[in-house]
Structure 1
Amino acid sequence: MNHRFGISNLTVARTALWQEARLICDDALGRGLAFAAILHEAGDLADEQLLADADRQRAMRYRQDRDRQNFVLGRTMVHHLVRPKGASVPCAFSFGVHGKPFLPGCAAFNLSHSAEWVACAVSPGTSIGIDVEAFLRLGDHRELLAATTHPAERRVIAEAEPDQRLALFKCCWTRKEAVLKATGKGLSDDLCSIDVGLAERQPLVGDAAGLRLVDLRADADRVTVCVALETSVSGIVVMQLSQ
């Protein structure tokens, strides 16, 4: 299920928007589904007042305004979508072994941002990963194949029509990132050892096929999005906000 909203056309207050998003998120989790919010050019929704001191200091270290804004917006999304309703104090995160943030006693979540896109995924399971990629500095993807792709993935890309190979590489990269973020390992893993099943629509990956990959539609010409879900989670509800 996909909900789309145009930020520039909204007549409701920011608070009402977040309340609506939380209702959709809670309904999805209550039905055993995951939830993903994908925001495009939504910097006006970022709220630094929701940041704990450590995150406020981290935000100040970003050199690029967009990166700083995306960081704050991601934290804002977690505040409104994941924390207990009515929580008012700044959101203080805990971190896993590999640095993945979580909130004790709350639903599992994951954040991603690239260029003007920011995404947050929430799951009723114990882990979830989401990756959004605009690939603004990709260069020649063929130079990256040997270092980043599994032999089976390289075969699928090589056998595809020439005009489809770049899109397949982008899908491959984004799927891998989603898997590594779901497991909490990040890019510390060997990318070539992971096969994300490029020939399949929703492949199962990981030890004992513990994760299912779902590619999300946002803006195929500008961004690639993938979510890694536990197989016990039957689906995902997507909410998109854009100007």
Structure 2
Amino acid sequence: MSRKPEALVHIYFAYLSYENHEKLLKQYLHKFPVDYQEKIKRFRRWEDAQLSLLGRILLYKGVEEIYKQNPHTKIIKHTEYNKPYFDNDKIQFNISHSGEIVVCALSDEQEIGIDIEIVSDIKIADFRSQLTENEWQKIALAANANHSFFEYWAQKEAVIKTHGHGLSIPLTSFEIVDNTTTIHNEEYYLQQLNINEKYKCYLALKTNNSSITIKEFNHNEIL
């Protein structure tokens, strides 16, 4: 029996840049739909505006470079659970940001979800109710509880983004074991992405036979 070809997933990521913020707005904002332009203008913090804008830029770069298509002809809609998607298009995408990093995952072969979390000092006990007992015990016994917590959190967020029903799926209703989990009899497979040692980043897929490429965009390339 021949082995099923690997499904391709492409990851683009970029860092925030204060010095390039106005340049990004001037060069890119007018290219997007008016409602998205207004959304960006409503952000009070430049960081939030740029995180959103960079996510859209990376998405469009991916469509142009990988699939050789014009992204500006595509219409982005949202499901009832607020997951964005291209209308009448097989290209799947998902965007996440945390701290100073934005990541965008694209595939035309399968549903995908990605989550990135900056590891920070938080009171992890406040999130105990969002984890299964086994997950909580592993975090509590870990050499670095904070790192362990954000690892699980990124995994869980990535899975529910792939599933597509968002937080209507209770985080305690499924358990991450050896980078796999099951929701409603569907299996999900997790891949850790080594973007930055200060962050935890995971990609969730419905197949365990995937080839993943990772590309960083610096602002010279974007501008």
Same fold (TM over 0.5): yes
From 206, 210, 213, the equivalent of 2:183 is 206
From 37, 59, 68, the equivalent of 2:40 is 59
Once residues 74 and 33 of structure 2 are traced to their aligned partners in structure 1, the CA distance between those partners, rounded to angstroms, is 6
In structure 1, the residue matched to 2:158 is: 178
AA at the equivalent of 2:77: S
AA at the equivalent of 2:106: V
Match of 1:153, SS?
Answer: helix
Matched, 1:227 2:195: no
In structure 2, the residue matched to 1:73 is: 54
Where does structure 1 lack aligned partners over 5 or more consecutive residues?
1-29
In structure 1, the residue matched to 2:80 is: 97
Once residues 90 and 33 of structure 1 are traced to their aligned partners in structure 2, the CA distance between those partners, rounded to angstroms, is 23
AA at the equivalent of 1:152: N
Once residues 71 and 59 of structure 2 are traced to their aligned partners in structure 1, the CA distance between those partners, rounded to angstroms, is 13
1:194 shift after superposition: 2.2
In structure 1, the residue matched to 2:99 is: 115
- Change in Cα spacing, 1:236 to 1:205, as seen in structure 2 (3 Å) is farther
Once residues 68 and 57 of structure 1 are traced to their aligned partners in structure 2, the CA distance between those partners, rounded to angstroms, is 11
From 148, 157, 163, the equivalent of 1:168 is 148
1:91 shift after superposition: 5.4
1:169 shift after superposition: 0.4
In structure 2, the residue matched to 1:139 is: 122
- Deviation string, structure 1 residues 72-120 (Cα, Å, up to 9, x no partner): 1111112121266352747531111211111121410000111211000
In structure 1, the residue matched to 2:10 is: 35
- The answer to whether the 8 A contact 2:115-2:157 is kept is yes
1:160 shift after superposition: 2.5
- Change in Cα spacing, 1:165 to 1:139, as seen in structure 2 (3 Å) is closer
Report the number of matched residues. Answer: 206
Once residues 213 and 150 of structure 2 are traced to their aligned partners in structure 1, the CA distance between those partners, rounded to angstroms, is 23
AA at the equivalent of 1:158: A
1:132 shift after superposition: 1.0
- The answer to whether the 8 A contact 2:9-2:105 is kept is yes
- Change in Cα spacing, 1:113 to 1:196, as seen in structure 2 (3 Å) is same
- Give TM-score, length-normalised by structure 2: 0.81
- The answer to whether the 8 A contact 2:116-2:200 is kept is yes
Once residues 233 and 97 of structure 1 are traced to their aligned partners in structure 2, the CA distance between those partners, rounded to angstroms, is 29
AA at the equivalent of 2:102: V
Match of 2:210, SS?
Answer: coil
Identity of aligned pairs, percent?
25
In structure 1, the residue matched to 2:140 is: 158
Where does structure 2 lack aligned partners over 5 or more consecutive residues?
none
- Change in Cα spacing, 1:86 to 1:155, as seen in structure 2 (3 Å) is closer
Backbone CA RMSD of aligned residues: 2.5
AA at the equivalent of 1:227: L
